[in-house]
């Protein structure tokens, strides 16, 4: 799937320093972001999982956060949903600071998450799981019936316990459970986790219909190719810091790889260059552990006039395929 924004010229990818506004062609120059993260820092005990992360998500966007294991992606989504308390920074939703607002109140205001690993109630039926999602629902277009229309197989199996469903079916129920809460911004945490590629494509294939109801999506993905297929804007995290930000059509495979792994790239001052003072993570070339995966993708020469990332051309940095359980 491509997005309309992908086909427009304009804004170039750049390393985000947390201060620059994320506006440009394809994004409203003077618009108001629906969701704004300002200088967010989150600790898990002594560990700084997020280090001054900023981003702006505009209405109708599909904003993708990519990054390797432990980059801080889930921490970011969970903090936006209210499940972690930040050490510093703020979360502004539709012009209101919600940084200290309780998770259920955030859900009622329209911030709803599909968590990593689905987190369904396995002993409950499909329909009972959907009813759970309606607990803190806003008024809006999504009802359980509407979810059944979106996922044609679901109504006939509504009395089946979710433990009996395949991974892809469970993911669909998890999405449906979030939709019946009538989100304004839908947070999707690693939809692809544990699913076969064909199932991942089917699950992501539902996005256009979901977006058509006026939703905005902020998703995190380790599967970079998949994220690039659906995103209108992307941001790469590494060790809790932003290493790259821009539109998928404006970044190259080499830049994405560098940002993902913290490698230096020729001709690009972003992911590979030393980050602002005091950080030896994202900017430092990693020496161990990357092996062949970090080698440049075909066509990504890292120099001027670099070809943009080709969808699906990032096999080297997509995690090994996992099969549906
Ligand atoms: P993954 O795809 O593996 O989930 P991620 O990019 O989502 O990676 P996070 O899950 O946000 O990364 O984790 C960021 C860092 O914070 C990691 O080092 C992780 O071990 C640590 N971490 C995450 N949750 C907790 C927690 N509840 N307690 C302690 N450390 C945590």
Q: Is 280 within the bounds of a domain?
A: yes
Q: Is 272 within the bounds of a domain?
A: yes
Q: Is 170 within the bounds of a domain?
A: no
Q: Is 264 within the bounds of a domain?
A: yes
The range of the structural domain enclosing residue 17 comes to: 1-110+185-194+220-317
Q: Is 18 within the bounds of a domain?
A: yes
Q: Which residue has the tokens 């120099």?
A: 303
Q: Looking at ligand 1, which residue's alpha carbon is closest to its atom 27? A: 44
- In sequence order, which residues have a C-beta less than 8 Å from that of residue 189 and are 6 or more positions away? 73, 74, 77, 78, 113, 114, 115, 116, 219, 220
Looking at residue 269, which CATH number applies to its domain? 3.40.50.300
Q: Give the range among 91-105, 115-129, 264-278 with minimum mean pLDDT.
A: 264-278
Q: Give the range among 27-36, 48-57, 125-134, 277-286 with minimum mean pLDDT.
A: 277-286
Q: Is 235 within the bounds of a domain?
A: yes
The secondary structure element, H or E, covering residue 79 is helix 73-81
Percent of the chain with pLDDT over 90: 44
Quote the number of domains for the chain: 1
- In sequence order, which residues have a C-beta less than 8 Å from that of residue 66 and are 6 or more positions away? 73, 220, 221, 222, 224, 227, 234, 235, 236, 237, 256, 260
pLDDT tens-digit series, residues 70-114: 999 999 999 999 999 999 999 999 999 999 999 989 999 999 999
Q: Which ligand 1 atom sits closest to the C-alpha of 220?
A: 7
State the chain's maximal CA–CA distance in angstroms.
Answer: 57
Sorting pLDDT into bands at 50, 70 and 90, what band is 264?
Answer: low
- Within 6 Å (CB) of ligand 1, which residues are found? 44-45, 47, 49, 67, 69-75, 222
pLDDT tens-digit series, residues 124-147: 899 999 998 888 778 888 999 999
Q: Which is it for strands 111-114 and 185-189: parallel, antiparallel or unpaired?
A: parallel
Sorting pLDDT into bands at 50, 70 and 90, what band is 268?
Answer: very low
Sorting pLDDT into bands at 50, 70 and 90, what band is 26?
Answer: low
- If one residue of 43, 73, 80 were mutated to test the ligand 1 pocket, choosing by the most ligand atoms within 8 A of its CB, it would be 73
Structure tokens at 213: 């109801």
């Amino acid at each position: 799937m491509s997005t309309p924004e992908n086909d427009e010229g304009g804004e170039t990818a750049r390393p985000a320093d947390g201060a620059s506004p994320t506006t440009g062609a394809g994004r409203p120059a003077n618009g108001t972001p629906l969701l704004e993260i300002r200088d967010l820092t989150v600790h898990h005990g002594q560990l700084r999982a997020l280090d001054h992360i900023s981003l702006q998500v505009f209405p109708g966007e599909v904003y993708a956060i990519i990054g390797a294991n432990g980059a801080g992606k889930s921490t970011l989504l969970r903090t936006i949903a209210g499940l972690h308390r930040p050490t510093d920074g703020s979360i502004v939703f539709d012009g209101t600071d919600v940084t200290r607002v309780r998770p259920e109140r955030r859900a009622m205001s329209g911030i709803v998450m599909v968590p990593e690993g689905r987190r369904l109630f396995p002993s409950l039926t499909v329909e009972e799981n959907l009813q759970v999602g309606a607990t803190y629902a806003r008024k809006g277009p999504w009802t359980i019936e509407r979810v059944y229309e979106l996922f044609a197989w679901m109504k006939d199996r509504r009395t089946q316990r979710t433990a009996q469903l395949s991974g892809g079916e469970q993911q669909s129920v998890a999405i449906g459970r979030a939709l019946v809460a009538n989100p304004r911004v839908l947070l999707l945490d690693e939809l692809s986790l544990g699913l076969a590629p064909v199932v991942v494509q089917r699950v992501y294939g539902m996005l256009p219909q979901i977006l058509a109801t006026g939703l905005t999506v902020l998703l995190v993905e380790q599967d970079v190719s998949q994220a690039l297929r659906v995103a209108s804007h992307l941001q790469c995290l590494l060790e809790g810091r932003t290493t790259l930000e821009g539109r998928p059509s404006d970044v190259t495979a080499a830049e994405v790889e560098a940002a993902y792994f913290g490698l230096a790239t020729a001709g690009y001052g972003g992911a590979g260059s030393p980050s602002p003072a005091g950080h030896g993570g994202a900017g430092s070339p990693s020496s161990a552990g990357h092996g062949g995966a970090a080698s440049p993708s075909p066509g990504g020469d890292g120099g001027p006039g670099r070809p943009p990332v080709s969808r699906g051309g990032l096999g080297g940095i997509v995690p090994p395929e996992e099969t549906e359980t």
